[in-house]
Amino acid sequence: MFEAKTILYMYIEHPLHAGSGRGLTAVDLPIQRERTTGYPMVQASGIKGCLRDETDPKRDPKKRLTEDEWLTIFGPETANAKDHAGALSTGDARLLLFPVRSLAGVFAWTTSLDVLARFRREAEILGIGLSWELPQDPPNAEQTYANGDALLAGGQVVLEEYSFAPNQSQADTVKDIGQWIAKEALPDAPEYDYFKKALPGRLCILPDDVLRDFLLFATEVQTHIKIEPETKTVKSGALWTVESLPIDSLMYIPVMATPSRKKGSTLKTAQEILNKVIGLDLLRTSLGGDETTGQGLVALRFGGNQ
């Protein structure tokens, strides 16, 4: 039984490829997606593995955890897995905001009523209070809920090659949601001051089906090749594409803890364990594939009840 809960926000700073193996579509190496919705996600095993590796006392120059604390939180190495389970559990990373190219304002942070309702449900499970309400109904197929004129070009919101009529009837709701996310979810660092200020005016709530289409077809796709070392030309057949979540995407991860399962541990209660993890000051980490080419850098921020 989980006795302590919080939420971890993950802001994508470099394109993130959390792969799902070989693809059957035009993209050779697609990202992980939910089965029912097609929304991008990052599986919990990858999240927990990343946190485990980041804080390993053998490799962590900051020595943020002792060996005892590390084993209590994350569990023993595979060879000793039967000894006890780790006390920390993470859920899958789910999408909250997705950046889409905009004719005005450079890009828009997009979301939908479906995505926001799922986040609200998760917040309720984790005991996190939200100061904003959801719109009663989603915008119709040719509209978007917007706040202000930061995204307006000729009276329309133009995202990629599609235009939407701005519906200002929910402007206050969009503003409230944007301000809350900017304050609670974006990284708490000076370099994010610009983004926190811009988010409420560049947030738009799209129809559910429209956002799903952007999530399916507006991700970043990079083409890779292999060079013959002797001739410095492209090796025959060595051409492949890799899909990534674009920078400025925002995801959220439920984080939960149980009391220690390790005998003699210095960390006992679930709240002690969760507080220890929150206090590690994990501001950034690398996640997913292509780390050696600078991909997958993400900013982290714990929110909710701490």
The reported pTM is 0.93
Is 117 inside any structural domain?
yes
Domain total of the chain:
1
Q: Which CA distances in Å does 179 have to 12, 159, 172, 245?
A: 19, 22, 10, 23
Is 33 inside any structural domain?
no
What mean pLDDT is predicted for residues 166-180? 95
Let me know: does 9 contact 42? Beta carbons within 8 Å: no
Is 236 inside any structural domain?
no
Instruction: State the pLDDT at residue 24.
Output: 60
Q: Which of 163, 159, 196 is nearest to 181 (CA)?
A: 196
Is 207 inside any structural domain?
yes
pLDDT in tens, 105-119: 999 999 999 999 999
Q: Which domain holds residue 165?
A: 100-218
Which of 135-149, 208-222, 234-248 bottoms out in mean pLDDT, i.e. has the lowest? 234-248
What mean pLDDT is predicted for residues 277-286? 94
Is 144 inside any structural domain?
yes
Q: For a pLDDT cut of 70, what percent of the chain falls above it?
A: 97
Q: Which CA distances in Å does 31 have to 12, 47, 105, 187?
A: 14, 15, 27, 24
Which of 28-32, 51-55, 85-89 bottoms out in mean pLDDT, i.e. has the lowest? 28-32
pLDDT in tens, 93-104: 999 999 999 999
Q: Does residue 8 surpass a pLDDT of 90?
A: yes
Is 179 inside any structural domain?
yes
- Under the banding of pLDDT at 50, 70 and 90, the label for residue 306 is very low
pLDDT in tens, 156-170: 999 999 999 999 899
Let me know: does 119 contact 92? Beta carbons within 8 Å: no
Is 65 inside any structural domain?
no
Is 150 inside any structural domain?
yes
Which of 14-23, 37-46, 81-90, 148-157 bottoms out in mean pLDDT, i.e. has the lowest? 14-23
Secondary structure of 193-259 in the HEC alphabet?
HHHHHHHHHHEEEECHHHHHHHHHHCCEEEEEEEECCCCCCEEEEEEEEEEEECCCCEEEEEEEECC
